[in-house]
Amino acid sequence: MINSMYRRRLRMRQSSAWFGSSLRRITFFGLTLIAVTAGGLGMLRQNSETKSTQPPEAKAKPGAAEMKRLGFYIGQWTYTETYPKGGVNHGVYTSKPGPGGNSLLNTFHSQGPVGDFEGMLVYTWDLTDGKYKAYIFGNDFPGALVETGEFEGEKLVFHGEIGAGGAKIQLRNVTWLTSPEKLISEAYMSKAGAPEKLLVRVEASRQ
């Protein structure tokens, strides 16, 4: 969820003292999917008797159970981002189901002394990998950051990797509920196998 801000922010800081390369602003154009279906019922008469056929047994939609498990995100949240060096940003996060319930569409915007951050995060279930995928789009970098995740107990954990000055930086984001109306999300980074460092901690409350 909100951990997308940290992944985006980390990538943005490839231009700052963190990573040393400049990132460019992008515009994300949404895609509208329109589907129209039609159906009907038929009756079969034979020798004055009406035969009816039972509808086929409904099959579970692939990925439906996994997407349902992300339902705790749905709604609007206010949150604070607290950084290790003391900076604090405040923001709003909104989450809603995507077309057919096959994805979760999230938008976020935070402001404060650390910066002005806006973006979109799309979650979906990858049938091939059997894991969640997160696609993060931000106002501070082109393209998308892609991460792979799964539940570890009751915590949702995503892993990703970005390049920074020829080096690879590993990202780990952990999100969990402390109550039905409150959650915590933490983002960590590690460079060249070094111990992880906390990037930011988010505390969010549902509105």
pLDDT digits (tens, 9 = 90+) for 164-184: 777 889 999 999 999 999 999
Burial classification of residue 35, based on how many CB atoms lie within 10 Å of its CB (0-12 exposed, 13-18 middle, 19 or more buried): exposed
CATH topology of domain 3-21+61-206: Lipocalin (2.40.128)
Alpha-carbon dihedral sign for residues 66, 71, 74, 80: negative
Q: Does the pLDDT value for residue 8 go beyond 90?
A: no
Cβ atoms 65, 93 nearer than 8 A: no
pLDDT in tens, 188-199: 999 988 999 999
Q: How far is CA 176 from CA 157, 168, 181, in A?
A: 9, 27, 11
CB 112 within 8 A of CB 81: yes
In this prediction, residues 3-15 reach a mean pLDDT of 48
Q: Which residues contact 16 (CB under 8 A, 6 or more apart)?
A: none
